[in-house]
Amino acid sequence: MPHTYYDFFAGGGMAGLGLGSEWQCLFANDIDAKKAASYRANHHGGNELLLKDVAMVTLDEIPGTADLVWASFPCQDLSLAGRGEGLAGKRSGMFKPFWQLVRDLHAAGRGPKMVAVENVYGAITSNGGRDFATLAASFSGLGYHFGAVVVDAVHFLPQSRPRFFIIGISGDLRVPDTCTQEAPSSIWHPPALIEGHSLLSAAAKARWVWWNLPVPQMRETTLSDLIEDHPQGVKWHTVSETKYLLDMMTDLNRKKVEAAMLLGTKVVGTIYRRTRPDENGIKRQRAEVRFDEVAGCLRTPGGGSSRQTIIVIEGKKVRSRLLSPREAAALMGLPKTYELPVRYNDAYKLAGDGVAVPVVQFLASSVFEPVIHKNRLALVA
C-alpha cells in the first residue's frame, strides 16, 4: 500500500520525484501554467494537479486523507534578495491560505499525519524571527510535534543550496526514538535556528523536537561531472565576450584564472556578476570566479547576475557560457529523462524555484517513512 501525499506549490513536481515510487500523490496545485505543464509531462499526465491559486482552492477539491502534506511556498519575501516583507508579503504570504486549508482538513476529520514546509534560510530570521515564530505557532496550534532543520543540497549535489525545513508529526502518532535527539546538532541546526527556537512561545517549545538526521555519505559528484561539452539551449561565448568577463575581474580573481591555466588540465569554474565598490568607493560590476567544483545556489533568471556562467579552462584556452538548462536540472537532482521546457528562461526558472530531489529523498528516508512504518506496525499489533 503506497504512502500518500499532497503537494502544494508543486512546481515541476520535484518533491514527488524525491519521495519516489512508494508514494502516491492524491492532490497537487500550482498557479504557474508553464510549471504545471512540466509537472504533467513528467508525472504521467498529472491528473492530480490543480492549476489554481492556493487561496482559491476549496476543501472539496482535495480528495482523501494524506500521510504527508508537502509545501514549498514562495520564498521571495523571505529571501535576502527580497524586500523583507516576510509572511506579510504578497508572495510568501501565500503560507496563510495554505495553512487555512490544513486547518480545514483537521476540522473535517482529515488532518494530515505529517506536514513538511520548505523555504529559504531567511525564513528563520525574517522580521527578527517573528515569521519563524508564526510558522512554529501554526504547527503547535494544530497539535503537531514539530522541529526544523537546515539541509544544504551540497551534501548530495555540487550546488550550495541551504534550505529550511519545518516538519510536524501529528500528536497522536509515535515518533521513533532514532528520529529525535535531546539537543541540537551543528550539522542540521545552525546558530540562527537555535536562536529562533529560544524566542518561541512556551506552547510552541512544549511541542518542539530536535530532529536527528544521519550524516550523509561523502558526495562523489563534482560540478565538472555535470558540465556538458556540447550543451543544448546555450552557446559558448565569443572570444570577445569571454575577454569582457575576464576584464571585469579584480586582480585576485584574475590570479585564480591564471593559476588554473598553469595546471594544464581541464578546470571548470563558475562566474558570478556582483556589484562591488572599487578603491574609490564607486560601485562597479565585477566578475567573481570560484573553482571549488560547487555551483552557487540556483535562482530564477530575473537578470544576468542571477544566471550562472560557466568557465572552462584547458591550458591557455579559456571558454565561457551560461549554465545550460540540462545542467541546471542536474544540479537539482533531476534525471536526464526529465522533460524540460523548451525556452531557456522557463527551464532555468523551473530549476531555480524547485526543491533538490535528493534532499526530499533524504528527509523521507530519515523521518517520514520511519514514522509511517512505526505507526503501521503499531496498528497491526
Rounded Cα–Cα distance for residues 294 and 281 (Å)? 30
DSSP-assigned states of every residue in 288-328: EEE-SS-BPPP---SSGGGS-EEEEEETTEEEEEEPPHHHH
Do 339 and 250 belong to one domain?
A: yes
Do 228 and 308 belong to one domain?
A: yes
Do 42 and 169 belong to one domain?
A: yes
From residue 259, alpha-carbon distances to 246, 295, 319 in Å are 14, 19, 15
Do 203 and 58 belong to one domain?
A: yes
Do 134 and 231 belong to one domain?
A: no
Do 15 and 129 belong to one domain?
A: yes
Q: Which three cell numbers stand for residue 319?
A: 571558454
Do 237 and 189 belong to one domain?
A: no
**Quick one: pLDDT at residue 303?**
45
Do 269 and 367 belong to one domain?
A: no
Asked whether the beta carbons of 305 and 274 are under 8 A apart, the reply is yes
Domain coverage including residue 92: 3-216+356-380
Asked whether the beta carbons of 185 and 211 are under 8 A apart, the reply is no
Rounded Cα–Cα distance for residues 341 and 37 (Å)? 8
pLDDT digits (tens, 9 = 90+) for 19-61: 999 999 999 999 999 999 999 999 999 999 999 999 999 999 9
Using 50, 70 and 90 to split pLDDT, how confident is the model at 91?
Answer: low
- Model pTM score: 0.94
- Domain count for the chain: 2
Which has more pLDDT, 1 or 229?
A: 229
Do 125 and 265 belong to one domain?
A: no
Asked whether the beta carbons of 341 and 37 are under 8 A apart, the reply is yes
Rounded Cα–Cα distance for residues 123 and 179 (Å)? 23
Using 50, 70 and 90 to split pLDDT, how confident is the model at 82?
Answer: low
Beta-carbon contacts of 243 under 8 Å, excluding residues fewer than 6 positions away, are: none
pLDDT at 212 over 50: yes
From the list 269, 255, 281, the residue with the least C-alpha distance to 323 is: 269
Q: Which three cell numbers stand for residue 353?
A: 524555484
Asked whether the beta carbons of 12 and 39 are under 8 A apart, the reply is yes
- Each as own residue / partner, the long-range contacts of residues 256-263 (CB below 8 Å, 24 or more positions apart, any chain) are 256/289, 256/290, 256/291, 257/289, 257/311, 257/313, 257/318, 260/291, 260/313, 261/313, 261/315, 261/316, 261/318, 263/313
Do 192 and 173 belong to one domain?
A: yes
**Quick one: pLDDT at residue 302?**
58
CATH assignment of the domain containing 336: 3.90.120
Average pLDDT, the chain: 92
CATH assignment of the domain containing 30: 3.40.50.150
| Helix (H/G/I), strand (E/B), else coil: 346 | helix
pLDDT at 77 over 70: no
pLDDT digits (tens, 9 = 90+) for 138-164: 999 999 999 999 999 999 999 999 999
Using 50, 70 and 90 to split pLDDT, how confident is the model at 304?
Answer: very low
DSSP-assigned states of every residue in 90-128: TTGGGHHHHHHHHHHHHHTT---SEEEEEEEGGGTTGGG
Do 199 and 91 belong to one domain?
A: yes
Rounded Cα–Cα distance for residues 80 and 121 (Å)? 9
Do 327 and 367 belong to one domain?
A: no
Percent of the chain with pLDDT over 70: 92
